[in-house]
Every structure is written in structure tokens, then in C-alpha cells.
Amino acid sequence: MEYLEKENKQLKHDNAILKDKLAKYENPKNSNNSSVPPSKDENRPFKSKSLRRKTGRKPGGQEGHEGTTLEMVSDPDEIIDHVPEYCECCGKDIGTIPGEFVERKQVIDLPPIKPVVTEHRVYMKTCTCGHITMSSFPDGLQAPVSYGPMIESLTGYFHSRQYIPFLRMQELFRDIFSVPISEGGIHCLLDRLSTKALPLYHRIRDMVMKSPVVGTDETGGRLNGKKIWIWAWQNDRLTWLHGTNNRGYKTIEENFPKGFKDTVLVHDCWKSHFQTDVQTHQLCTAHLLRELNYLDERYDHRWTCSFRKIILDGIELKKKLDPGDYYRPVRERTDLENKLKELLTCRLDVKLKELVSFQKRMLKYKDYILTFLYHPKVPPDNNGSERAIRNVKVKLKVSGQFKSWKGVENFLILRSITDTILKNKMNVLNALNLIANFKLTD
């Protein structure tokens, strides 16, 4: 009995200590209710761990890199001569004495921007035979007043390249270009430009389908508060974006019914991609490294370090491979394959549940981890697709959501073309202006 009383007393004491420790978490001090800095807040957003390895180089421009600076032009539009009129020593008039050129400096500026209004007039004539002949307006001129191709292409540029929302675009046209335009007018211009761009949009899809390497990814978006999915298929020269309410294989089948039979498909482990008919796959190693970071923090097991080293060594090896090395045996590559096989088949403690699950998944897809070491144009990661998708997320952050499927289609058509133009190092506005000058046929 005495033992139980003593134990009970000890338990009460321990309980009181624990309650005292927990009390501070019920109404904790934080940066909102005290002078505690945000860095000390509990449950603050976790800072992501960088996948980059230290290089030892200092931040900023590296020694020997090519710098950029403003260059003078040989034929300036205006020249202003600053000639001394009086001697700064004695004050004598020296205005008639010829001056000697010493130095020049140039200022780059913009003239006032003023819209150009072109009026089209039609006439009729009466022939000597009595027949009246009347001329006609050029194709595309229907309304009494309309916007020209440059305003149309600028609207597409601001929308798909600079992600400016309609209200601010309306303000921009008014304040900078002195062009009045309504939000409805902006929508009509984007609709017209997207329709003209549709053949090129389809052409990009056909070219992507025949590419030897294609990266793909998808992300969520909002259409009037409902979830939709934006898909991307891309390579180093092309980007094709598509919106749908389906994240499954159905979307792939509808847009690429024949699959990618001669293509290495780069992606994450989303199951729909493995249903696609392809030559082979490449898993995004950046995704795998992020997963390994989590597992390393969760279990602190040497297995994750070994797996990470194989991936990073593979990436370094790719930088050293000559074009011919991809088609002949390479000892370093064989060593990495053997290490990977050994790592994926070793026994792990079943208590490491998530680590074991990751190992099983990697064993299932083992043939797709180091594919990039056998194909010269296959990247080790899917960062290209994530960059293509990220621009859509920027648009959604600026505008919040899409309001109609037509708006989704218009943006993705123009964004696909814009990204493709950028990848080919062309001027986006000039290219959109060429499209805007296309004539729509009834």
C-alpha cells in the first residue's frame, strides 16, 4: 500500500510538470502577440532544403564572364551641341571662335506615344454603260471602329508573357498608349488572336508528339472556384499546354492517342504517364532527391545517403560523357547501375515504413532512374516541364482564377506559342504581331 501511495505521489508530480510544460503551447508567444521574432514562431513555414551542392565560388558575376553594358549608337536621332559662349577665366565673348570636339554622351529615351488612326473609305463609280461599281473594305473590317493588329498583338503579349490582368491592362492602354479599351474589348482581341494562332498551336502539338525527348507535368488551377488541371508537354524547343478537368490517362489519350512511340518521356512517378505508349521513361531525379531529403530527415538512415550519391554521381558523369560514350560500355556507368541494383535489393527494417515503400517503388521503376546516361538529349530531371507549368501558376497568382473555359483555352494557346518563341530566342511581340496580321476566313 505504501508503495502505491508513493508511486501515485510521483505520478502526480510528473503530471504537474508535464502540464506546466504544455501550458506554454496553449497560448504561446509568437511574433504576433509579443516581441518574439518570426524565426522563433512555432509551426512556422518550413524552409525548403536546397538540392544544390556547394561550389566554393563567391556569389555574383564570376571572373571571365561576359559583361553587358549600354552601347552608344553611331547615328543618334538628335544631336545637341553644348558650346561655351564666354571665357570662364576673363569673361570674354568666344562665341565666334571655332570649337574643338572633346567628348560625347548619349541618352536613350522614348517619344510620347500616340495612336495612329487609319481611315478606310470606299467609293462608287457609275460607268458609261450605266452600271454602278463600288469598292469594298479590306477583309476583317466590319465594325465602324476597330483595333489594329499591333494592339491585338500587344494584348496577347501583356496577357501571355507579362500576365497582366484585364483591369490593369485597360489602365495601361489608357495611360501609356492613349487607347481607350474595355475589359470586354480585351477579351474579344484575345479571342481573335487565339483563333488565328490555333493552327500553330496544333502544329506545336504534332511536333512534340514526334520529338525524341518530351517532358510532361501537370498542375491544379481554378475555374470559377472549381478544380481544373493544366498539363504541359515540352522539350528544349517546344511547349504545348492543355487545360482539362481530368488528371488521369484520359487526358493523355485524347490529345496523344498514338502515344510517344519513339520518345523518352521525362516525368515524375504519376501513374498515368506509365500507361502512355513510349520508347522508355526517365524519372525526374529532382523529385527523387526531394523525397530523399524528407526520408533522411525522417529516419537519418545511410540508405538515403547512398541513393542520393548514386543520383548525384550520375548527374556529374553525364557532364563528362562524350557523344560516343552513350552508345558504348562505360565503366563508371556500369558501376552506378550495379550500386543501384544492390541498394534496391538490400533488406531494410520493416519499421522504416516510408523508406521501405520508397525502395519498393524505386525497384519497380529501376530501369527509368538512370536513363539519362544512355541518351545524350535526355535530361536527368523534369525541370523544363516545371518551368513551363510555373508560368501558369504565376498567371493564376496574379488573376486568382479563370472565369471561363474559353479564357483557359485562349491563355494556354497563347502561352504555348509564347514559351515556344522564347525557347527559340525570337522576339515574342514581333511573332505575335505576325499572327495578328493573319486574315481569318469565314
Contacts of 182 (CB under 8 A, 6+ apart): 170
User: What separation in angstroms does the CA of 143 have from each of 26, 101, 113, 147, 411?
Assistant: 67, 57, 25, 10, 25
User: What separation in angstroms does the CA of 381 have from each of 32, 265, 409?
Assistant: 40, 11, 28
Residue 278 pairs in a beta bridge with 260
Q: What angle do CA 31, 394, 198 make, to 5 degrees?
A: 170
Cell of 275: 500507361
For residues 273 and 265, give the distance between their C-alpha atoms in angstroms, rounded to a whole number.
8
Q: What angle do CA 69, 74, 75 make, to 5 degrees?
A: 125
For residues 146 and 137, give the distance between their C-alpha atoms in angstroms, rounded to a whole number.
13
Q: String of b and e for 292-314 (b: at least 16 CB within 10 Å)?
A: bbebbeebeeebbeebbebbeeb
Please list the pLDDT of the chain residue by residue as tens digits (442 residues). 777 788 888 888 888 888 877 766 666 656 554 455 666 666 666 566 666 666 667 776 777 777 778 899 999 999 999 999 999 999 899 988 999 999 999 999 999 999 999 999 999 999 999 999 999 998 888 889 999 999 999 999 999 999 999 999 999 999 999 999 999 999 999 999 999 999 999 999 999 999 999 999 999 999 999 999 999 999 999 999 999 999 999 999 999 999 999 999 999 989 999 999 999 999 999 999 999 988 888 888 899 999 999 999 999 999 999 999 999 999 999 999 999 999 999 998 888 888 999 999 999 999 999 999 999 999 999 999 999 999 999 999 998 889 999 999 999 999 999 999 999 999 999 999 999 998 776 5
For residues 385 and 369, give the distance between their C-alpha atoms in angstroms, rounded to a whole number.
18
